[in-house]
Structure 1
Amino acid sequence: MHQDEIIKQLQEQNEQLKLENELLKARVSEIEPLKAKIRELEARLAQYENSHTPPSLRRGRNRKKDRDTNNKGKPGQKVGHKGVTRPYVAPDKQVEVTMDRCPDCGAELGSPFRIDSKIVEEIPEPQPIMVTEYKIAHYKCPCCQKEVAAKDPSCPQEGKFGNNVIALATIFKYEDRLPHRKIHDAMMRLYRLKISPATILDLTRRAADAIQPEYDAILRKIRRAPILYVDETGIHVQGEKHWIWTFTTPSETFFVIRKSRGMKVLMEVLTRRFKGIIVCDGWKPYARFTNCIQRCWAHLLRESKDIAEKFEEAIPLHNALKELYDLLTKALENDPPPEVRRYLCHLAREALRNWISKEYSIEKVQKFIGKINNGFSYWFTFVIHPGVEPTNNRAERALRPQVVLRKILGTLRNEKGTSIHERIMTTLATWGQRGLDCLQMLTAKLAS
């Protein structure tokens, strides 16, 4: 081939390569923003789905009915299942349902040969509001010369709405989780009562003032509790991040909303005189506040499972933790005596120490081992002390209504609304735990 032709061919190839290079650069410039967007979305997803996310809240999970492809059973109740029938209630009135003539031929029917009984439960039609005028007598005490006004339990000390209205509006908002506009609609539909959203807020404030002594009494019981389940979750006040804390026992639940997630909230609520055991997650302020702690095994097993799904060397560790937890909970079912509990605790500590002393090569597994080791003194409190639960599920359940309300409310508007929220949610949650009728209890507190 002639030298000029070779040079020409090389120049053409060079131009072709330059063109392909420019195309590749253009494609890379298009791909890089996509990669950045993917990284951003993965980071956002990690806030909602991580080792601390309960399995019931994980998105896109395979449900049991989708996974169990071999199940050929029929839906519905299984053979031998004992049904539950709604019990009949005593009727308030009786209605005779009779006919004189046959609807087809018009002949007289005479006396019935059989009478069936059918009890029906019905609600009354929407009732108009009752408007009552109270003529309040005022007196002058002949002894101390003070003016004294007569009182009636059904006459509120403030405003023109009665105790039933205040209590029902409060229950609509905090138990039924209705926004103010929906409460307005419900009051109009049921009672033809027109009430503005601003007034509804003030009614909840009056309810919160009425239950202030109950709120204070619950706080005193929380401070004396021998076992306390504590947790916290984020909530916004005026658009700023705050934390709603729950302190719960089997019969009381106490809420506070604070800007801090640190130890000073524990100091404020429980004070230094608190001598009980706190069941909690691994958040550091708890260990700084007290050394009487039970760390949550549900958090531990969720995190170990998450790591085991990503790294093969963590699978034996997860299986060992799960087996240890199952063995301990089964051994404690019959409430063994103290000496057996101490022996179980000794064996469990040795087993856990054996697993965390092994060599692990992956950094994330090493960090997880560090977490276990940092809380080593707090994993087996439930073994020694009867009544202590191994998980913090009780506090997490107490927070779930708050999470739902958080989604509905978006943000609490001010300090006033925050205080109302704390007092009412504390009292309603505690009454619910005790099996009390919240509407009746709140109406009674307003009348007292």
Structure 2
Amino acid sequence: MAQNCPSIIEQLPPEDWEKTPASVKKMVELMALRIEILEQQAQGLREAQQQLEEKVNQTSKNSSSPPSSDPPGFGRKSQKKTGKKRGGQPGHQGNSRNLYPLEKCTSVIEHHPVRCSCCGESLCGEDTNPYRHQIVDIPPIEPIVIEHRLHQLTCERCGTATRAKLPDDVNPSGYGVRVVATIALLSGLYRNSHRMVQSAVADLFGISMSLGTINKLRQEASNAVADCVAQAKLYIQQHEIVAADETSFNQANIDGGNPQQRQAWLWVAVTPQVTFFEIALTRCTQAAQNLLGENFGGILTSDRYGAYNWVDIERRQLCWAHLKREFIKISERPGVSAELGTRLLQQQEKLFKLWQRVRDGTLSRNDFAELIKEIRHQIITLLQQTADYSIGSKEKTPLAKTVRTCRQLLSVESAMWLFATTPGLEPTNNAAERAIRPAVIWRRTSFGSQTQAGSMFVARMLTVVTTLKSQQRNILEFITTAVANNREGKSAPSLLPSV
């Protein structure tokens, strides 16, 4: 172990080292061992420091962390004062209020000028294109209350008292279908808590109801749309192109009233006109298969999360927004990683500039597919050069992390380019991330759901609201019809787009 000793000892000629007393040799060997241990500890501390620095510098730009986790002011560009006044500048095209069509107007009042504003001459005639000014107001809302009196009469023959029953078309809940739909809308689309819904219906409609009643009406609305939501799931599973994502969601009281919160996951599958949500207690492959269907044969757009790996690589499109974050993370590491990440980001930027031309119609998809061949070659070369570095199986240095990432990307590299040749396929998973954002807000404001039935309501309402918005259909009228049909034993209206 003399080679690990202090430099003065290492400079001794071999014959002098042999003449050194055994006690001194032992001391030197102990010193060398101590130096080696200290060097290992120092290396471990350096690696730990690098990991902490990477964790501290983690943002929504270089990881899958949500923007809400970014530090205050992150990403905001400092704006220089221009000296201009606030608001639209001269020459700016303004936006006027959309006017209601004449058939929607309660009344139309014509106003004619009587005299000329210049000379005072009397005026007559009609303006074929008068300036239109509309006043929009809401009338006082009074609930429609219908009282049913159930009389009880006593039989003169046997003395039995018999009370009349409610007609079959009268719901025993005491509330009409529009009230149920409004409760669902306030809870679902606007994500209000039970107490906020209670306050809203009292303030807006003068209807007083308990929190328990609100919960019962929510569940009635949830049951009313159950069949059409299940139909939407089948539609998703049979669609040619689907985007998928998932986020955490808390659910309590699922085991016999146990109040302990458990981790659940909200999954979403998106097509252009139908979006389906589902809450599961797992984030594993089985949950993804249940979402998309075990026999899913379409193209899946997603991130690199392992639960989607059961879908054939030939039918997957990896999200380039997530890939960009990986490249940024690599570029922020020292040494070889920084250079690699920078060069990968340069290729990604070239790719997106070309894709923008495809979207605005200035570049055909066929020409795009030809132009990106060089970009693909460059990215593969960069990944392969770094993947060839030799690292230890348990090495945790920044370079080791970069090497492992490059090896993982190379294993799924073919799934990065399917959008180039597939019409209707996007390079990012932005559609699924946009769809799941309201659910994240719901989770943050409500801390999840308290029961499995509550989770079902969340998933169903998100499915109904998101789908109807994409089809530009009236949400309140849809839920009202669904509740009315359910009370009459009829099927709910369909969420599927009309052919």
Does the residue aligned with 1:397 lie in a helix, a strand or coil? Answer: helix
Partners of 2:345 and 2:251 lie apart in 1 by 40
Partners of 2:444 and 2:87 lie apart in 1 by 34
Give the fraction of aligned pairs with identical amino acids, expressed as a percent: 25
Question: Could you say if the C-alpha distance between residues 379 and 63 of structure 1 is closer, same or farther in structure 2, counting changes exceeding 3 Å?
Answer: closer
Any idea what the Cα deviations from partners look like across 1:396-423, whole Å, max 9, x if unmatched?
A: 0010010010011113111111222222
Which residue pairs with 2:243 in the alignment? Answer: 229
Question: Could you say if the C-alpha distance between residues 365 and 70 of structure 1 is closer, same or farther in structure 2, counting changes exceeding 3 Å?
Answer: farther
Give unpaired runs (5+ residues) of structure 1: 1-35, 98-112, 137-148
Does the residue aligned with 2:232 lie in a helix, a strand or coil? Answer: helix
Which residue pairs with 1:270 in the alignment? Answer: 292
Structure 1, 225-234 or 437-446: larger mean CA deviation: 437-446
Any idea what the Cα deviations from partners look like across 1:260-286, whole Å, max 9, x if unmatched?
A: 111111222322321100000010121
Partners of 2:168 and 2:63 lie apart in 1 by 58
Whether 1:175 aligns to 2:189 is: yes
Q: CA deviation at 1:375?
A: 2.0
Matches within 5 A, 1:213-362: 213-238=227-252, 239-291=261-313, 292-311=315-334, 312-313=338-339, 314-331=341-358, 334=361, 336=364, 340=367, 343-344=370-371, 346-359=373-386, 362=399
Which residue pairs with 1:443 in the alignment? Answer: 480
Amino acid at match of 1:187: V
Which residue pairs with 2:135 in the alignment? Answer: 120
Which residue pairs with 1:191 in the alignment? Answer: 205
Which residue pairs with 1:80 in the alignment? Answer: 91
Partners of 1:285 and 1:197 lie apart in 2 by 39
Question: For this pair of structures, how many residues does the alignment match?
Answer: 380
Partners of 1:333 and 1:218 lie apart in 2 by 31
Matches within 5 A, 1:386-425: 386-425=423-462
Q: CA deviation at 1:63?
A: 5.2
Question: Could you say if the C-alpha distance between residues 166 and 421 of structure 1 is closer, same or farther in structure 2, counting changes exceeding 3 Å?
Answer: same
Question: Could you say if the C-alpha distance between residues 288 and 344 of structure 1 is closer, same or farther in structure 2, counting changes exceeding 3 Å?
Answer: farther
Partners of 1:182 and 1:318 lie apart in 2 by 47
Q: CA deviation at 1:56?
A: 7.8
Question: In 2, are the aligned partners of 1:287 and 1:293 still within 8 Å (CA)?
Answer: no
Q: CA deviation at 1:316?
A: 2.4
The counterpart of 1:130, out of the listed 119, 136, 144, is 144
Does the residue aligned with 2:310 lie in a helix, a strand or coil? Answer: helix
Which residue pairs with 1:51 in the alignment? Answer: 63
Amino acid at match of 1:53: S
Q: CA deviation at 1:62?
A: 4.7
Q: CA deviation at 1:382?
A: 0.3
Whether 1:203 aligns to 2:217 is: yes
Amino acid at match of 2:181: A
Amino acid at match of 1:436: R
Amino acid at match of 1:197: L
Partners of 2:298 and 2:450 lie apart in 1 by 35
Amino acid at match of 2:385: K
Partners of 1:343 and 1:50 lie apart in 2 by 29
Q: CA deviation at 1:150?
A: 7.2
The counterpart of 1:162, out of the listed 165, 176, 180, is 176
Structure 1, 261-270 or 387-396: larger mean CA deviation: 261-270
The counterpart of 1:429, out of the listed 456, 466, 476, is 466
Partners of 1:377 and 1:343 lie apart in 2 by 16
Matches within 5 A, 1:2-151: 51-53=63-65, 58-62=70-74, 64=76, 66=78, 68-69=79-80, 75-89=86-100, 90=102, 91-93=105-107, 119-125=134-140, 127-133=141-147
Q: CA deviation at 1:236?
A: 0.6
Question: Could you say if the C-alpha distance between residues 351 and 74 of structure 1 is closer, same or farther in structure 2, counting changes exceeding 3 Å?
Answer: farther
Does the residue aligned with 2:409 lie in a helix, a strand or coil? Answer: helix
Normalising to structure 1: TM-score of the pair?
0.75
Normalising to structure 2: TM-score of the pair?
0.68
Any idea what the Cα deviations from partners look like across 1:6-56, whole Å, max 9, x if unmatched?
A: xxxxxxxxxxxxxxxxxxxxxxxxxxxxxx9xx999969959885223668
Amino acid at match of 1:297: W
Give unpaired runs (5+ residues) of structure 2: 1-47, 112-123, 125-130, 151-165, 253-260, 390-398, 486-499
Does the residue aligned with 1:289 lie in a helix, a strand or coil? Answer: coil
Question: In 1, are the aligned partners of 2:244 and 2:432 still within 8 Å (CA)?
Answer: yes
Question: In 2, are the aligned partners of 1:181 and 1:197 still within 8 Å (CA)?
Answer: yes
Which residue pairs with 2:413 in the alignment? Answer: 376
Amino acid at match of 1:290: D
Question: Could you say if the C-alpha distance between residues 203 and 264 of structure 1 is closer, same or farther in structure 2, counting changes exceeding 3 Å?
Answer: same
Question: In 2, are the aligned partners of 1:278 and 1:294 still within 8 Å (CA)?
Answer: yes
Partners of 1:171 and 1:392 lie apart in 2 by 28
Question: In 1, are the aligned partners of 2:61 and 2:325 still within 8 Å (CA)?
Answer: no
Partners of 1:44 and 1:161 lie apart in 2 by 53
Any idea what the Cα deviations from partners look like across 1:162-194, whole Å, max 9, x if unmatched?
A: 111101111111111111111111111122211
Question: In 1, are the aligned partners of 2:303 and 2:318 still within 8 Å (CA)?
Answer: yes
